[in-house]
């Protein structure tokens, strides 16, 4: 297997982007990543494109082709990947595999989502159908916050996690988003703001939920040989990738206090990278809802099962703590343009590992120069864990 | 919906006809107040929701009527509802484990929100809505 490095990254401004269509939004990230890598569009041999809601929350059914054409990538090998909210990581894995296997030397993973061209109840309908439509949505109208609320209720009942603990995750991630110019939200919040916000799916309230966001992120990858040829200053190597999946029906899971797919995917990634969880300097985890971040601490082995709430209470996932998590604001406050999120995590990891965090104030301290991205699709329906190393 | 200039896409209405011929006894059972699961004759696995084909790749299945005694494992009160549930009042969705070992996800009705606890007992019942839709729900045991 060939070694693969990230050589260029780009991230559009996340938020309500009704100033641009899906092609123009993707262009912002693609241009940045190609310029960052110091290559040209025609150097890219294969494009793995990620978008989960093509034709649903925006008008184009084949966005891979419209965006490739728009960004000067026509002619490259092309595929659209779908892994629900882990779509961006699925695209990254596909672009990685094309090089690791020896087929290509330079590839791109592009993730885009344009979620705000339809009304909110319809957006919630599309996302709610992203489980097992027939058995869990058709008669029961399970929304996406509700899928995670089922986990929050179980975690609270089993481990004594509280609504205040969930609020602490929101407060932390809003704080870091306010320091990140690409983030959707730029406001800090308090625990009281979170606790008094409207109930969406009890026990989850408005501030426990990520926003509906437009955004794009793009990553350029290269083989070791190309890294040398292009004289890349600071290649960020893909040290490990793990993946797994969970049942479509939530009713077929064994418990609701963690995501087994995340446990399996992380074990696989750690094994490939030959590291243990305590060697990870910082992580971007899939905090689509606050409970998801607490379960991620446990599933990834940053703490023991049931002790996730303790980690946030003690501030161990802040900069200066044991393992800083989501210091770009996370999905919760940077925003979660579904297909873009996985690539945006790679963008953040790469910037941090190069010690190029946009503002010095949210640069994490690096000891082992190892960052981890945990990207969950659905409610543990898919999971990808990617470990990058400088 | 925005201050920015836009053009509006053509409007399209979509609804899918979902085949149920292979699980018809389940849907017919609901009309008779029964909740049926399938059991694989080859490996013995019990399936709810019912399936025509087993994960062991056998399609030799038999129909089994489930008990209605459930223990609630988790629940949520859905307040903000999706487009096609806008006409409903906020509803509670729960996952309950039946005596037979299978879990069921369904609405939980006839309890006050403050009464609902993880670990409590509920009864699983088949139901036909006033609009004729076949479903099932957890409710208060007698
Ligand atoms: Zn079987």
Query: Residues A134-141: what's their mean pLDDT?
Result: 96
From A2, A105, A10, A93, select the one nearest A48 (Cα to Cα). A93
Is pLDDT at A19 greater than 60 in this prediction?
Answer: yes
Q: Could you identify the residue written with the tokens 């309890």?
A: B111
Contact between B83 and A139 using a beta-carbon 8 Å cutoff: no
- pLDDT tens string A171-221: 999 999 999 999 999 999 999 999 999 999 999 999 999 999 999 999 999
Q: Could you identify the residue written with the tokens 């864990």?
A: A385
Is pLDDT at A52 greater than 60 in this prediction?
Answer: yes
Residues of A that are catalytic: 85, 336
Query: Residues A277-295: what's their mean pLDDT?
Result: 98
Residue A103 · residue A138 · CB < 8 Å: no
Residue A282 · residue A139 · CB < 8 Å: no
Helix residue spans in A12-84 (DSSP H): 22-37, 63-70
Two tokens, residue B59: 């399609």
Q: How far is the CA of A3 from the centre of ligand 1 (A)?
A: 42
Domain ranges of chain A: 4-118+212-230
Q: Give pLDDT < 70 ranges for chain B.
A: 1-2
pLDDT at B2: 53
Q: How far is the CA of A135 from the centre of ligand 1 (A)?
A: 20
Phi-psi region of B131 (alpha: psi -120 to 50; beta: other; left: phi over 0): alpha
* DSSP reduced 3-state for A363: coil
pLDDT at B142: 80
pLDDT at A48: 98
Closest chain B CA to residue A118: B1
Residues of chain A neighbouring B74 (CB-CB closer than 8 A): 150-151, 153-154, 157, 256
Q: How far is the CA of B49 from the centre of ligand 1 (A)?
A: 14
A 76-135: CB under 8 A from B: 117, 119, 121-122, 124-125, 128, 132, 134-135
Tell me A269's DSSP state.
H
CB atoms within 10 A of CB A345: 33
Contact between A18 and B78 using a beta-carbon 8 Å cutoff: no
Long-range contacts of A80-84 (CB under 8 A, 24+ apart): A80/A49, A80/A50, A80/A51, A80/A54, A81/A48, A81/A49, A81/A50, A82/A50, A82/A51, A82/A52, A83/A50, A83/A52, A83/A377, A83/A382, A83/A384, A84/A52, A84/A130, A84/A338, A84/A377, A84/A378, A84/A381, A84/A382
CA atoms within 13 A of residue A13's CA, in its CB half-sphere:
10
Which domains can be identified in chain B, with CATH numbers? 21-66 (no CATH), 67-142 (2.40.50.840)
Is pLDDT at A53 greater than 80 in this prediction?
Answer: yes
* DSSP reduced 3-state for A206: helix
From A99, A328, A307, select the one nearest A217 (Cα to Cα). A328
Q: Which CATH superfamily is domain A4-118+212-230 in?
A: Thiolase/Chalcone synthase (3.40.47.10)
Query: Residues A328-348: what's their mean pLDDT?
Result: 98
pTM of the model: 0.97
Query: How many pairs of residues across A and B have Cβ atoms under 8 Å apart?
Result: 113
Q: How far is the CA of B39 from the centre of ligand 1 (A)?
A: 8
Which of A141, A154, A252 lies closest to B74 in CB terms?
A154
Residues of chain B neighbouring A140 (CB-CB closer than 8 A): 91, 93, 105-107
């Amino acid at each position: 297997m060939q070694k693969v490095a990230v050589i260029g990254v780009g991230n559009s401004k996340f938020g309500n982007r009704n100033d641009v269509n899906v092609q123009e939004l993707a262009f912002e990230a693609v241009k940045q990543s190609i310029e960052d890598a110091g290559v040209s569009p025609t150097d890219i041999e294969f494009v793995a494109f990620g978008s989960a809601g093509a034709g649903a929350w925006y008008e184009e059914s084949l966005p891979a082709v419209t965006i490739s054409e728009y960004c000067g990538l026509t002619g490259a090998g092309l595929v659209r990947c779908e892994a629900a909210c882990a779509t961006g990581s699925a695209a990254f894995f596909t672009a990685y595999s094309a090089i690791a296997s020896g087929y290509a030397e330079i590839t791109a993973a592009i993730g885009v989502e344009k979620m705000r061209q339809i009304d909110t109840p319809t957006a919630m309908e599309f996302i709610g159908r992203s489980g097992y439509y027939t058995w869990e949505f058709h008669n029961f109208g399970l929304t996406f916050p509700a899928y995670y609320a089922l986990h929050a209720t179980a975690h609270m009942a089993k481990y004594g996690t509280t609504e205040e603990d969930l609020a602490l995750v929101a407060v932390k991630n809003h704080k870091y988003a306010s320091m990140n110019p690409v983030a959707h939200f730029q406001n800090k919040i308090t625990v009281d703001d979170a606790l008094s916000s409207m109930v969406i799916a009890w026990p989850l309230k408005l501030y426990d939920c990520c926003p509906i966001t437009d955004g794009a992120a793009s990553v350029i990858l290269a083989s070791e040989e190309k890294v040398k040829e292009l004289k890349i200053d600071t290649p960020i190597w893909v040290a490990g990738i793990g993946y797994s999946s969970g049942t479509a029906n939530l009713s077929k899971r064994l418990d609701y206090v963690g995501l087994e797919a995340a446990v399996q995917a992380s074990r696989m990634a750690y094994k490939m990278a030959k590291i243990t969880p305590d060697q990870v300097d910082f992580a971007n985890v899939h905090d689509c809802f606050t409970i998801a971040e607490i379960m991620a601490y446990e599933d990834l082995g940053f703490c023991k099962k049931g002790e996730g709430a303790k980690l946030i209470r003690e501030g161990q996932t802040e900069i200066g703590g044991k393992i800083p998590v989501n210091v770009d604001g996370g999905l919760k406050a940077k925003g979660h343009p579904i297909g873009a999120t996985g690539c945006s995590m790679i963008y953040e990891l790469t910037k941090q590992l190069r010690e190029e965090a946009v503002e010095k104030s949210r640069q994490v301290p690096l000891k082992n120069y190892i960052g981890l991205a945990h990207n969950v699709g659905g409610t543990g329906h898919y999971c990808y864990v990617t470990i990058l190393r400088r | 919906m925005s201050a920015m200039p836009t053009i509006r896409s053509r409007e399209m209405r979509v609804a899918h006809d979902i085949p149920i011929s292979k699980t018809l006894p389940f849907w017919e059972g609901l009309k008779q107040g029964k909740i049926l699961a399938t059991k694989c004759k080859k490996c013995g696995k019990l399936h709810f929701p019912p399936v025509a084909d087993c994960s062991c790749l056998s399609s030799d299945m038999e129909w089994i009527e489930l008990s209605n005694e459930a223990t609630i494992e988790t629940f949520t009160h859905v307040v903000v509802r999706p487009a096609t549930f806008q006409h409903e009042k906020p509803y509670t969705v729960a996952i309950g484990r039946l005596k037979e070992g299978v879990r069921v996800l369904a609405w939980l009705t006839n309890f006050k929100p403050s009464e609902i606890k993880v670990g409590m007992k509920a009864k699983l019942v088949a139901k036909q809505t006033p609009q004729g839709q076949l479903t099932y729900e957890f409710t208060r045991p007698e």
